[in-house]
Amino acid sequence: MQKLIVDKKFDNKKLSDFLYSNFSGLTKNTLYKAFRKKDIRINDIKINEDTIIHAGDSVTVFIIDELLFKNIDLEKVYEDENILIINKPNNIEVVGKDSVTSILEKEYSYVSPCHRLDRNTTGLLLFAKKEEALNILLDKFKSREIEKHYLAKVYGIPKKKSEKLTAYLFKDNKKAIVYISDTPKTGYVKIQTSYTVLEKHEKENYSILDVDLHTGKTHQIRAHLAHIGFPIIGDGKYGINEINKRFNCKVQQLCSYILKFNFVTDAGILNYLSKQEIKLFNN
Q: Which of 123, 145, 167 is where one domain is finished? A: 145
Q: What's the pLDDT tens digit per position in 247-264? A: 999 899 999 999 999 999
pLDDT of residue 47: 94
Inter-residue contact 181 to 196 (CB < 8 Å): no
What angle, rounded to 10 degrees, do the helices at 15-22 and 28-36 form?
Answer: 130
Q: Are residues 154 and 247 in the same domain?
A: yes
Active-site residue, selected from the candidate residues 39, 57, 118, 212: 118
pLDDT value at residue 70: 76
* CATH code for the domain of 128: 3.30.70.580
Residues 218 and 169 in one domain: yes
135 and 161, same domain (yes or no): no
Q: Identify the pLDDT of residue 124.
A: 98
Q: Is 14 domain-assigned?
A: yes
Tell whether 268 is covered by a domain: no
Note whether 156 and 239 are same-domain residues.
yes
**Last residue in a domain, options 68, 90, 105:** 68
Q: What's this model's pTM, rounded to 2 decimal places?
A: 0.79
What is the Cα 46 distance to its own chain's centre? Answer: 37
Measured between alpha carbons, how far is 119 from 96 in angstroms, rounded to an integer?
Answer: 11
Which pLDDT score is estimated for 139? Answer: 97
The domain of 129 spans: 75-145
Domain count, the chain: 3
**Inter-residue contact 156 to 195 (CB < 8 Å):** no
Is the Cβ–Cβ distance between 221 and 150 less than 8 Å?
A: yes
Are residues 107 and 82 part of one domain? yes
> What pLDDT score does 23 carry?
87
User: Does 134 lie in the same domain as 157?
Assistant: no
**Residue 98: per-residue pLDDT:** 79
Q: How far apart, in whole angstroms, are the C-alpha atoms of residue 195 and residue 232?
A: 13
Residue 274 forms part of a structural domain: no
Which residue ranges in the chain fall short of pLDDT 70? 282-283
Closest CA to 111 of 120, 102, 99, 119: 102
> Is 206 a domain residue?
yes
**Are both 134 and 229 inside the same structural domain?**
no
Domain membership flag for residue 271: no
Contact 231, 223 (CB under 8 A): no
Q: Are residues 138 and 153 in the same domain?
A: no
Q: What is the pLDDT of residue 96?
A: 87
118 catalytic, yes or no? yes
- The CATH number of the domain holding residue 242 is 3.30.2350.10
Query: What pLDDT, on the 0 to 100 scale, is given for residue 261?
Result: 97
Tell me if 263 is assigned to some domain: no
Euclidean distance between CA atoms 79 and 93, whole angstroms: 21
Residue at which a domain ends, from 27, 45, 68: 68
